[in-house]
Amino acid sequence: MNPETTQLDKTRFDLQIIASWIEPGSRVLDLGCGHGDLLLLLKQEKQINGTGIELSEEKVARCIERGLTVLQGDFSEEILDYPAHRFDCVVLSQTLQQVMNPKKLIPELLRIGKRVIVSFPNFGHWQVRLQVLLTGQAPVTGQLPYEWYDTPNIRVISIKDFKQFLRMTGIKPVKEVAINSHHHDENGHIIKYLINLRATYGIMMLERSA
Amino acid sequence: MENASDKTSTAPLRVKKQYFTFAEPPNEMPLDSGARLGPITLAYETLGRLNADKSNAVVILHACSGDSHVAGYYGDDDPRPGWWENMVGPGKPVDTNRYFVICSNILGSCMGSTGPSSINPKTGRPYGFDFPMVTIRDMVRAQKHLIDHLGITKIMSMLGGSVGGMQVLRWCTDYPEMVISAIPLATTTRHSAQAIAFDEVARQAIMADPDWQGGNYYDGPGPRHGLAVARMIGHITYLSDESMRNKFGRRLQNRSSLSFDFAGDFQVESYLRYQGAKFVERFDANSLLYITKASDYFDLEHDDGSALLDERLTATKFLVISFSSDWLYPTYQSRALVSKLKKNGCDVSFCEIDAQWGHDAFLLPNKQLDSIISSFLNRIYHESRNNAAR
């Protein structure tokens, strides 16, 4: 009956990096938390005080079964209730590309959280570029496995685009890392050069500019 | 980590109805209406064992017409277990091998606790309509006397559905320091106009019955017809369009063609009549009037602020559950509750369970419901122990 355990090295590679950025004991909100892998990891390894928001009843129930605090709902609406600075860190992992209004969402996340960690698949990756160039069709890759007609990804973002967006909105990236890893893989490596061409995912930690 | 007692058998539990009497004059209990009531008796049942540090108490609060008989059997020849047998018992989600479960009958009811059918010590006759109006808060105030009497200062978890959920929330706002965790199920912070409307129709059905006699009917047959109709109305609000379609459709009862009279053709008519007739045998009409009024009066959003916006509540952990087809207390009302708790900074989980059974879904066997309640209680149990160990 004891809550199950999870291990860092069995966790999705981008979540491993996100977890490493989170201070022990902090208050964390995970948007689109799925089955709660990240929250469970952080609870066990860093004793964080976590909350997840998730749309699917089945996933919410799974989170509660794992002893996590989770709200069923649409996070764009759910976050509006929280008072300012309610969380030390808000995590938006691999969901930004599905958000209807990122320009409104990200400042709102910086209202309720001191820091926001965002990870997203990089549409600037060379495979994506090559596919568009050679086939003339919407790209389908390991990180973007959907066809144009069934994809939940309504935003096309590259790492370069997102950094431009941050400059435009005056939001400060305090940490950033680009990685190369497969969709749900626990292995991967950090990309240092030609990031927008070689990385499959971008991960950034944002803060309000003073 | 676990107690040896966690591993005991799953044999059916034997329970006994017990009584606790307090507020003897001149120390009557003050009520929200300004009146005072005493003596007050609460019928209650307990299951499982209170541990040495009194940290495993789970309080279950019943709905409108429920009673203290939450689970188990009164004796070997008792044909029926308590009303939440699928949820409470050895090895069940509310595991009586681990938790000490307390369920009391609400003030104003007729299932052993003081209510309008009880004898008024001043007259030697049933109170009838001389019984003072009681509120959800008064019910909770009376329960607090019982919990104090049992020597419990911290309640590990309180759970209840419907009007029971209202009591859970009232406990949280009135005695937040006592409630470690709360599970309000299929409930609301205030009745909608629609919910009040159904209650009023039910009350009018009773009060329009000539045998109601202004509430002083205890020498006569009582408003049997009115009470049955009131229950039929209640039952409709507990079901859903989908569940009635699946359960009855337009099927006829014991006939192959329409009768062309009013004897009752359809299965749904027969079902409602049966539910009404059954209810009359066990429930007091005045109690239904008082309890429906109490639930209509219940309002945590009263005045200019919400009673739920209270920083003393931030230590309480919540699991709020609604059911997709509940149209008596629809999901948006649970969401409004969750929204308030979030503003407070509470640790709150929320799940809308997809169920076709309407409001009644919280009482019916449901694997998803079982597993989240069992896991939530398990989490609170371990957290409390870890905190105590620190």
Q: If you count them, how many residues does chain B have?
A: 390
Catalytic residue among B55, B109, B157, B162: B162
d(CA A185, CA A33): 17
A201 in a domain, yes or no?
A: yes
Q: If you count them, how many residues does chain A have?
A: 210
Are the beta carbons of B321 and B359 closer than 8 angstroms? no
**pLDDT(A8) > 80:** no
Write out the two tokens for B12.
């059916």
Q: Is B140 helix (H, G, I), strand (E, B) or coil?
A: helix
How does strand A188-191 pair with strand A87-93? unpaired
CA dihedral A32, A35, A38, A43 (to 10 degrees): 120
Please give the residue of chain A at the shortest CA–CA distance from B7: A1
* ipTM value: 0.90
State whether residue A89 sits within 8 Å of chain B by CB: no
Are the beta carbons of A16 and A96 closer than 8 angstroms? no
B162 is catalytic: yes
Which mean pLDDT values do the consecutive 10-residue runs of chain B (390 residues) have?
48 91 97 98 98 96 97 93 96 97 98 98 96 98 98 98 98 98 98 98 98 97 98 97 95 93 92 97 98 97 83 95 97 97 94 96 95 98 82
Find all residues with CB under 8 Å of B342, minimum gap 6, and list them.
Answer: A71, A78, A81, A82, B348
Are the beta carbons of B60 and B160 closer than 8 angstroms? yes
Q: What is the pLDDT of residue A11?
A: 76
Give the number of domains in chain A.
1
A139 in a domain, yes or no?
A: no
Q: What is the pLDDT of residue A1?
A: 41
**Interhelix angle for A159-169 vs A102-112, to 10°?**
70
Please give the residue of chain A at the shortest CA–CA distance from B336: A81
Contacts of B350 in chain A (CB under 8 A): 60, 70-73
d(CA B285, CA B112): 15
Q: Are B354 and A82 in contact (CB < 8 Å)? A: no
Write out the two tokens for B31.
């009520």
B326 is catalytic: yes
Q: What is the pLDDT of residue B352?
A: 98
d(CA B207, CA B198): 14
Q: Are A2 and B1 in contact (CB < 8 Å)? A: yes
Are the beta carbons of B102 and B57 closer than 8 angstroms? yes
Residue A13 — very low, low, confident or very high, per pLDDT cuts 50/70/90?
A: confident
B5 is catalytic: no
**Interhelix angle for B285-297 vs B163-174, to 10°?**
50
A130 in a domain, yes or no?
A: no
Q: Are B382 and A3 in contact (CB < 8 Å)? A: yes
Domain that holds residue A102: 8-122+156-208
d(CA A82, CA B343): 5
- Phi-psi map region of B22: left, alpha, beta (phi>0 left; psi -120 to 50 alpha): beta
Q: Are B351 and A1 in contact (CB < 8 Å)? A: no
Residue A9 — very low, low, confident or very high, per pLDDT cuts 50/70/90?
A: low
d(CA B286, CA B117): 7
Catalytic residue among B95, B138, B199, B326: B326
CA dihedral A20, B314, B301, B110 (to 10 degrees): 120
d(CA A98, CA B246): 37
Could you tell me the end-to-end alpha-carbon distance of chain A, in angstroms, rounded to an integer? 47
- Alpha helices (H) along chain B: 136-149, 163-174, 193-207, 224-238, 241-247, 267-282, 285-297, 331-344, 367-389
Q: What is the pLDDT of residue A7?
A: 65
State whether residue A198 sits within 8 Å of chain B by CB: no
Please give the residue of chain A at the shortest CA–CA distance from B340: A81
How far is the alpha carbon of A92 from chain B, nearest alpha carbon, in Å?
Answer: 19
d(CA A137, CA A161): 21
Q: What is the pTM of this model?
A: 0.93
CATH code of A45's domain: 3.40.50.150
How far is the alpha carbon of A155 from chain B, nearest alpha carbon, in Å?
Answer: 29
User: At CA A30, angle to CA A24 and CA A33, rounded to 5?
Assistant: 125
A83 in a domain, yes or no?
A: yes
Find all residues with CB under 8 Å of A78, minimum gap 6, and list them.
Answer: A53, A71, B342
Which B residues 330-349 touch A at CB under 8 Å?
335, 338-339, 342-343, 345, 347-349
Q: What is the pLDDT of residue B34?
A: 98
Could you give the count of Cα atoms lying within 13 Å of B208 in the half-sphere of its Cβ? 10
Q: What is the pLDDT of residue B1?
A: 40
Domains in chain B and their CATH numbers? 4-191+300-389 (3.40.50.1820), 196-293 (1.10.1740.110)
